[in-house]
Amino acid sequence: MRLLVSWLQLLLIAPSLLVAAASDYHEQLTLRPLPFSSVLASFHFRSNTSLTDFESQNFRLFPRSLGQILQHAGTRELHLRFTLGRWDAENWGARPWEGTREGGTGVEMWAWLDASTDEEADQKWLTLTNALSGLFCASLNFIDETRTIRPVKSFQPEGHHSAETLANTRLLHGVLPHEVVCTENLTPFIKMLPCKGKAGIGSLLDGHKLFDASFQSMAIDVRPVCPPGEDCFLEVEETIDMVLDINRSKRPQGNSIPRPVPPQDLVCDQSKPYHSDKTCFPIDHLGSPDWNLAQVFGRPMKGTCPLADPEVPPVCIQVPGSRDVFSTEGSQEKQGADGQSRCYLLDPNNDFTLALTNLRSDDKATEEIVKPEAPLLYADRSFTGYGQEHGGVQAILTNPSDEEVEFVYLESLPWFMRIYLHTLSTHVSTSTATSTNSSTPNSDIIKEVYYRPALDRARGTQLELVLRIPARHTVFLTYDFEKAILRYTEYPPDANRGFDVAAAVITILSPRGMNLRTTSLLLYLPTPDFSMPYNVIIFTSTAIALAFGGLYNILVRRFVGADEGPPSPIKAKLAQLKAKFMRKPAATVQQPTEAKK
């Protein structure tokens, strides 16, 4: 009997499962403690809708606001990134999602648009950026043609497209390095989630904590997916990665000033000979502190999202098996798929929290964290040179692994940074000893160059290089540029701050696909003293007044001979006066002469 009931239940659920397959929702939070008391929190939300539903505007879990924009702008595939801070690869290792879910500092987006010509693509791109700008409260509408490029090598469509649709699509890529990502961008992001921030892992997203993170990246990816033998559907993935500093996040909201701790709370190295109650060598930075979910995110997790797939555990944590993790009662621990993580199935109606305890400092045997995986490539880019006329860029690309790495290096530079491609050069040194420099010819490192030069005020420079770095080698990629002088109305109000240059995008092709980005740069251009126009106006006015006065005088004057003209009235007056003065003394003193006359 019981068996029958369960069979019946299964039969009843089956159709609803089928519906869910066409339009389902999945969310998961992965926590990974990192060195130096940081923790990486990766939020992943995925929902999809069948293409037929999408075309008939039948939105269920797919956000309608976004869907309508995509339809209107003819977008096949969209990738949008909001990033703040930088990923510290040296300490934190490889990036989450292999770096595919992050952008350069600021806002970055790229999309495949339905367009048969470049003009049409530009038009649709303009529509798309303006619409998204409104939706996400970001200045995406400032992605104009000077900040838009058409990458050739770096980006490949992630979704499934048929060959004929791909032939009729154009890839455009735009970046706004100066855009400061903040809460106004998070709110529309959360609004697109089926459970908003009310339940499930979305309830942990708090602007105060997210934007206090050492690194955070919000990503939206929309792509069509066609599983073999099934109908195609459109998938939207929202990802938020953040690296929280535990000590900073644990501070209570009302008292977030990091005042010095009371002396008795200092953790001191008591083995120091000078240790006393007034002298303390701090060792509180060693070891990861104890924390719990509610503390670091400022609130506990509010149950699960009822729309989410109940089979997928919403919270996972990656810590070594030897470390104790405590979770709220009612939750169920499960071994994660990769063996290193522990996942939790929760009670859908209760608050959930997770706690990690502090390790005792004498307990050296226990591993605190899962050792971060080393990245395939380290990239560091900086400006060289000084002064207002020329400059240079140096990218230091280090391959720490034992395999050769091949990748595409993409630079999208503003037009006022005029690069000299002939100065593009590489030099190689082994990672271990930088002194033994060997100058390998460019051709051994740079395999391919795709260069689209800038046009003043019309488009920026696009430079794509396919590079190959041998194992354990460092490549110094350098090129020089000239700084253009802008018209004085082209300067922004904070001209003396400099101009942001977008991050370089590195797409690793082999041994496996991976992405990373350098930090953005601040470029100083020759900046005029903006009080100068007033000085110039005053100067030129004076000069013109003087010159014009003289010239006008000569032009309108009628020249006549000195004897022809009428006697000058002033001269006559002067003569009269003179005569008067002359007469007086003459009358008194020179009486005799007059008499003589």
Partner 1 sequence: MSRLLSTALSLRRDPRVLKLPPYLSFLCVLIGLVWLLLLPLDNYCRKNYISENALLPGQVHTYFGGSEHHVLRAYRNEVEALVDQDNHQINDKLEEILRGFGVKVGRQSYTYHAAGHEYSGENLYGILQAPRGDATEAIVLVAAWKSIKGELNHNGVSLALSLARYFKRWSLWSKDIIIVFPPDSHTGTQAWVDAYHDAHDPKHVAPLPLKSGALQGALAIDYPLNHRFQSMHIIYDAANGQLPNLDLINAVVNIAGGQMGIQSFIQGMRQHKGTYRDRLRTMFRGMLSQGLGTAAGPHSSFIPYHVDAVTLQPYGTGFHDEMAMGRVVEGSFRSLNNLLEHLHQSFFFYLLIQKDRFVSIGTYLPSAMLLAANFSIMAIFLWVKSGQSPQSTSEDRGTKAGKASSEKEIGSSLSSGAAERGFIFPLGLVIVCHALSAIPLYTFNHLPAELLPTAFAAFWALSSALPFVICYGIGPLYKPTQQHAHLTKAFSLLILGMALSTLATLNFSLSFIIGLLAAPLSFVKSTKSQVLNFSISALLNLISPPAIIFAAASVYGAEVGEVLREASFGWHIWGMYTPVVVWAVWWPAWTIGMVNTLGLAGE
Write down the least CB distance from residue 263 to partner 1, Å: 4
CB atoms within 10 A of CB 378: 16
Kindly state whether residue 286 participates in binding partner 1, applying the rule CB under 8 A.
Answer: yes
21 vs 543 by CB, closer to partner 1 = 543
CA–CA gap between residue 302 and residue 349 (Å, rounded): 7
Site map (CB under 8 A) of partner 1, residues 156-195, x = contact: ----------------------------------------
| Footprint (CB under 8 A) of partner 1, residues 196-225 | 211-214
Q: Which stretch binds partner 1 (CB under 8 A): 71-79, 225-233, 347-355, 546-554?
A: 546-554
Does position 59 interact with partner 1 (CB under 8 A)? The reply is: no
How far apart are alpha carbons 132 and 135 in whole angstroms?
5
Can residue 382 be called a binding residue for partner 1 (CB under 8 A)?
A: yes
Which residue in 49, 105, 426, 507 binds partner 1 (CB under 8 A)? 105
CB distance 522 to 502 below 8 Å: no
Residue among 159, 345, 177, 307 nearest 236 (CA): 159
State the pairing for strand pair 148-149/378-384. Answer: unpaired
Among 55, 90, 184, 482, binds partner 1 (CB under 8 A): 90
The residue ranges of DSSP E strands in 25-85, in sequence order, are 25-34, 38-50, 75-85
Residues 6+ apart with CB under 8 A from 94: 372, 373, 374, 375, 376, 514
Q: Does 134 bind partner 1 (CB under 8 A)?
A: no
Q: Which residues inside 487-506 make contact with partner 1, applying CB under 8 A?
A: 494-498, 500
122 is an interface residue for partner 1 by CB under 8 A:
no
Q: How far is the CB of 517 from partner 1 (least distance, A)?
A: 10
Residue 163: how many CB atoms within 10 A of its CB? 6
Burial class of residue 96 (count of CB atoms within 10 Å of its CB; 0-12, 13-18, 19+): buried
Q: Which of 554, 560, 570, 595 binds partner 1 (CB under 8 A)?
A: 554
Rounded Cα distance between 51 and 59, Å, is 10
**Stretch of 136-144, 197-205, 357-365, 379-387 lying at the interface with partner 1 (CB under 8 A):** 379-387
Cα gap 473→401, rounded to integer Å: 9
Local structure of 31: helix, strand or coil: strand
Is 287 a binding residue for partner 1 by CB under 8 A? The answer is no
Q: Under the criterion CB under 8 A, does residue 383 sit at the interface with partner 1?
A: yes
Q: Binding string, 228-267, against partner 1, x = CB under 8 A?
A: -----------------x-xx--------xxxxxxx-xx-
* 423 contacts partner 1 (rule: CB under 8 A): no
Question: Cα dist. 555→448, 558, 564 in Å?
Answer: 68, 8, 20
| Residue 142 vs 476, nearer CB to partner 1 | 476
Of residues 248 and 452, the one with the C-beta less far from partner 1: 248
Q: What is the number of other CB atoms lying within 10 angstroms of the CB of residue 211?
A: 17
Cβ of 74: how many Cβ atoms within 10 Å?
19
- Count of residues interacting with partner 1 (CB under 8 A): 61
Binding site for partner 1 (CB under 8 A): 36, 84-86, 88, 90-91, 105, 211-214, 245, 247-248, 257-263, 265-266, 268, 272, 274-275, 278-283, 285-286, 380, 382-386, 392, 394, 494-498, 500, 519-522, 524, 527, 546, 549-550, 553-554
